[in-house]
Chains A and B, each alone.
Chain A
Amino acid sequence: ETGVTQTPRHLVMGMTNKKSLKCEQHLGHNAMYWYKQSAKKPLELMFVYNFKEQTENNSVPSRFSPECPNSSHLFLHLHTLQPEDSALYLCASSQVTVTNEKLFFGSGTQLSVL
């Protein structure tokens, strides 16, 4: 199994739909992240969870709702999204207690909001 698995790979949803993105890491890491990649913009941090506790919310609109039930799983619940929310959503994990920690990324979910 790959280290960080994201599902689905592609998602098309209407503005009134509710959907969820799922991320699972098999690396034994204690931190998980959601990043957003919009066209022609840098990777943008959305949320950080350390030991299942949210430690960072980078001013993300409430239509994005994260959930971290345990250190291996991370969800991003989506509701009443806007077309400008169309982007690639990347999940990552890391071991924050290790010096020189690096991020391990999933393959991302390409989201289109119609």
Chain B
Amino acid sequence: ILNVEQSPQSLHVQEGDSTNFTCSFPSSNFYALHWYRWETAKSPEALFVMTLNGDEKKKGRISATLNTKEGYSYLYIKGSQPEDSATYLCAFRSSGNTGKLIFGQGTTLQVKP
């Protein structure tokens, strides 16, 4: 059974704080690791798709790193803003499983002005 774990489950920070979350996934048969952002009443939206060990991706104030050998990825938000409030999902795809993404439960971030 493939398991994807995210921590923490929820997080409350003040505007301007930097924060990070963790996604743990199986370290064998790795193919790709996805990060999605899901704002309330909207659709989940892809942030990053990472495929190589040591990958680092950046989009504005959000960045992510990947360690496939130990099976974890970090998502960082620098200088959080209220508009960053959302649930952040990671999803793992193993090799040979076309289209089958296994999602974690998500980290819900609330940024207070």
Contact = CB atoms under 8 A, between A and B. Distances in A.
Contact of B101 (A4, A50, A103, A107): A103
Interface string A51-88: 00001100000000000000000000000000000000
A96 B99 contact: yes
A48 B100 contact: yes
B73 to A, nearest CB: 15
A100 B99 contact: no
Given A42-B104, A101-B49, A105-B43, A96 B4 contact: no
A63 to B, nearest CB: 22
A112 to B, nearest CB: 17
B42 interface: yes
Contacts of A89: none
Q: How large is the interface on A (under 10, 10 to 19, 20 to 34, 35 or more residues)?
A: 20 to 34
Given A42-B106, A107-B43, A108-B43, A102 B100 contact: no
Contact of B43 (A44, A48, A106): A106
The binding surface of chain B is classed by DSSP as loop
A96 B51 contact: no
A31 B103 contact: no
B107 to A, nearest CB: 12
B103 to A, nearest CB: 4
A104 B46 contact: yes
B100 A105 contact: no
Interface of A: 4, 31, 33, 40-45, 48, 50, 55-56, 90, 94, 96, 99-108
